[in-house]
């Protein structure tokens, strides 16, 4: 890793610590620093049981999406690839819609058992969607076929999600929260689930990072360098799917984080895929953490959906980059 990459790594870690401190200081009534809340047992319990896991969960979900975005752009050799390219988001949305329709969940439902069922349905739906994409693409040997299969699966499952909402209109508001993205339901159990998935996905990604460098020259060049392209691509698709499915299951469909995070890293550091993956994870986590804090603070006690903020900020950044180039 170059000195510039190390400098950005240290800067991102420092900014993450600052953003984490600010995040746990923002509540439904606005600014409330933890050292002030420590004097009140009730407020301190809110900080420990609600704000802290939400801040950590937002960072982990953003990190998973940032890592998945870097993997998708490396695998498909396309800077516009995002984590949802294999149909995982549409599968998760369909899983949530079917679960809500089956359980009869209203917009005010907050029962932990129901929440766990919705989270599980989102993850199962995401996993099945990626599996269907791999089946239609006949494996991972052909990148273009995999890409087309993912687009088709995403469109078809998205249509089924819309049909489910049309048939059961009572779930519209609950589905809206999922579609716009929210970190409000993430607790310590969600953090405990996302942390090992993030670690495992990062290890798998780093294990294939040198192969990704070779595959950026084309599959034929990678094979000539001794890379088992099919095996590496399968492992990286597994890491991409696990990271995306877990993040979507916990935080909903948050847009632009996975797309923008690798672009931010590349605009700051010229590096190979190994450091890029680590820095994209840290950047994605920081982006979602900042967006979540702003969403709770700007219109407190009302809360802006974090997915709306990430779309506005991410879209504005990409437009600015397009203008400059």
CATH at residue 133: 1.10.3470.10
Q: What is the mean pLDDT of residues 90-109?
A: 74
pLDDT, the chain, mean: 84
pLDDT the model gives residue 111? 47
- pLDDT above 90 as % of the chain: 26
- 245 in Cβ contact with 275 (< 8 Å): no
3-class DSSP string for the chain: CCHHHHHHHHHHHHHHHHHHHHHCCEECCEECCHHHHCCCHHHHHHHHHHHHHHHHHHHHHHHHHHHHHHHHHHHCCCCCCCHHHHCHHHHHHHHHHHHHHHHCCCCCCCCHHHHHHHHHHHHHHHHHHHHHHHHHCCCCCCHHHHHHHHHHHHHHHHHHHHHHHHHCHHHHHHHHHHHHCCCCCCCHHHHHHHHHHHHHHHHHHHHCHHHHHHHCCCHHHHHHCCCCHHHHHHHHHHHHHHHHHHHHHHHCCCCCHHHHHHHHHHHHCCCCHHHHHHHHHHHHHHHHHHHHHHHHHCCCCCCCCHHHHHHHHHHHHHHHHHHHC
More confident residue, 304 or 205: 205
Q: What is the mean pLDDT of residues 76-82?
A: 85
Range of the domain at 52: 3-324
Local confidence band at 213 (pLDDT 50, 70, 90 cut-offs):
confident
pLDDT the model gives residue 302? 79
Local confidence band at 225 (pLDDT 50, 70, 90 cut-offs):
confident
Task: Give yes or no for residue 322 having a pLDDT over 90.
Answer: no
Q: What is the mean pLDDT of residues 267-294?
A: 92
More confident residue, 141 or 22: 22
Q: What is the mean pLDDT of residues 92-96?
A: 88
DSSP string of 217-235? T-HHHHHHTT--HHHHHHH
Q: What is the mean pLDDT of residues 6-16?
A: 92
Domains in the chain, number: 1
Q: What is the pTM of this model?
A: 0.88
Q: Model confidence over 17-65: pLDDT tens digits? A: 999 988 888 876 666 666 665 566 777 787 888 889 999 999 999 999 9
Q: What is the mean pLDDT of residues 86-112?
A: 72
pLDDT the model gives residue 13? 94
Q: What is the mean pLDDT of residues 168-185?
A: 83
């Amino acid at each position: 890793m170059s000195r510039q990459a190390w400098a950005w790594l240290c800067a991102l870690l420092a900014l993450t610590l600052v953003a984490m401190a600010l995040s746990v200081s923002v509540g439904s009534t606005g600014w409330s620093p933890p050292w002030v809340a420590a004097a009140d047992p009730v407020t301190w319990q809110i900080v420990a049981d609600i704000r802290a896991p939400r801040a950590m969960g937002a960072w982990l979900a953003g990190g998973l999406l940032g890592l998945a975005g870097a993997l998708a752009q490396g695998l498909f050799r396309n800077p516009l690839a995002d984590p949802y390219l294999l149909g995982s988001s549409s599968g998760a949305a369909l899983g949530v819609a079917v679960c809500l329709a089956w359980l009869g969940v209203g917009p005010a439902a907050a029962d932990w058992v129901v929440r766990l069922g919705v989270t599980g349905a989102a993850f199962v739906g995401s996993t099945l969607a990626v599996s269907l994409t791999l089946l239609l693409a006949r494996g991972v040997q052909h990148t273009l076929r995999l890409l087309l299969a993912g687009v088709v699966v995403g469109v078809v499952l998205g249509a089924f999600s819309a049909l489910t909402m049309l048939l059961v209109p009572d779930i519209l508001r609950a589905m809206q929260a999922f579609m716009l993205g929210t970190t409000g339901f993430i607790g310590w159990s969600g953090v405990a689930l996302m942390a090992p998935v993030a670690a495992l996905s990062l290890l798998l990604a780093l294990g294939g990072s040198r192969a990704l460098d070779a595959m950026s020259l084309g599959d034929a060049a990678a094979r000539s360098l001794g890379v088992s392209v099919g095996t590496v691509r399968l492992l990286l698709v597994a890491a991409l799917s696990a990271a995306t499915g877990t993040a979507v299951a916990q935080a909903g469909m948050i847009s632009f984080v996975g797309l923008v995070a690798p672009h931010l890293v590349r605009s700051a550091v010229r590096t190979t895929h190994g450091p890029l993956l680590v820095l994209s994870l840290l950047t994605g986590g920081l982006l979602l953490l900042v967006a979540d804090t702003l969403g709770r603070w700007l219109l407190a006690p009302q809360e802006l959906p974090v997915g709306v903020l990430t779309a506005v900020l991410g879209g504005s950044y990409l437009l600015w980059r397009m203008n400059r180039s």
